[in-house]
Amino acid sequence: MTASLHTVAAAPVLGLIQLPHGAGLALPAYETEGAAGMDLRAAVSEGEPLMLAPGARVLVPTGLIMEIPHGFEGQIRPRSGLAAKAGITCLNTPGTIDSDYRGEVKVILINLGEAPFEISRGLRIAQMVIAPVTQARIELRSAAGETVRGAGGFGSTGTG
């Protein structure tokens, strides 16, 4: 039997605290067995949707405080359906949720489409991937070791 990704015994536990304005909203969830990201919902007031004009951006509350285990991060990514259909994306994608952050998680959406976009309560606005992170030890050095690439970049290997 194949275990689903999220029932692996060693899976990290994501702690969630639902704030009062998030109460009643469905918790973030993996929509399919193999989904990489869990969808996040807009915790805007019922009956008071946010209208996002073309070109405008907005900080959308999720109504959630998270306890991401040490050694992991949350990556906030756009949903392709919103992007393809309406030009809605996350401005700072992938947004970084640090494991020591204890404020409300918010999603920065921007409307790159041509029409105003309505964000109503409960709309699945983005997805969050939990990913391992490594903190490097930093060493100040006097020079960098030589490589074939050297300082070539930004298209140095050609286009074809």
Ligand X SMILES: O=c1ccn([C@H]2C[C@H](O)[C@@H](COP(=O)(O)OP(=O)(O)OP(=O)(O)O)O2)c(=O)[nH]1
Instruction: List residues near ligand X by CB under 6 A.
Output: 76, 92, 95-98, 101, 105-108
- Enter the tokens of residue 29: 């969830």
To the nearest whole angstrom, how small is the minimum distance from the Cβ of residue 150 to ligand X? 31
Q: Does 98 count as an annotated binding residue?
A: yes
Sequence-ordered strand ranges (E) for 44-123: 50-52, 57-67, 72-77, 88-90, 95-97, 104-111, 117-119
Q: Which is nearer to ligand X, 28 or 95 (CB)?
A: 95
Q: Which is nearer to ligand X, 58 or 105 (CB)?
A: 105
DSSP-assigned beta bridge partners for residue 104:
65
Q: Which is nearer to ligand X, 48 or 100 (CB)?
A: 100
Q: Which is nearer to ligand X, 45 or 92 (CB)?
A: 92
Q: Does 4 count as an annotated binding residue?
A: no
Q: Does 111 count as an annotated binding residue?
A: no
Q: Are the C-beta atoms of 40 and 97 separated by less than 8 Å?
A: no
What's 82's DSSP letter? Answer: H
Burial class (CB in 10 A: 0-12, 13-18, 19+), 15: exposed
Q: Does 92 count as an annotated binding residue?
A: yes
Give the CA-trace dihedral at 74, 75, 81, 86, to 10 degrees. Answer: 110
To the nearest whole angstrom, how small is the minimum distance from the Cβ of residue 3 to ligand X? 30
To the nearest whole angstrom, how small is the minimum distance from the Cβ of residue 22 to ligand X? 14
Q: Does 96 count as an annotated binding residue?
A: yes
User: Which residues carry a binding-site annotation?
Assistant: 79-81, 92, 96-98
User: Which residues carry a binding-site annotation for substrate?
Assistant: 79-81, 92, 96-98
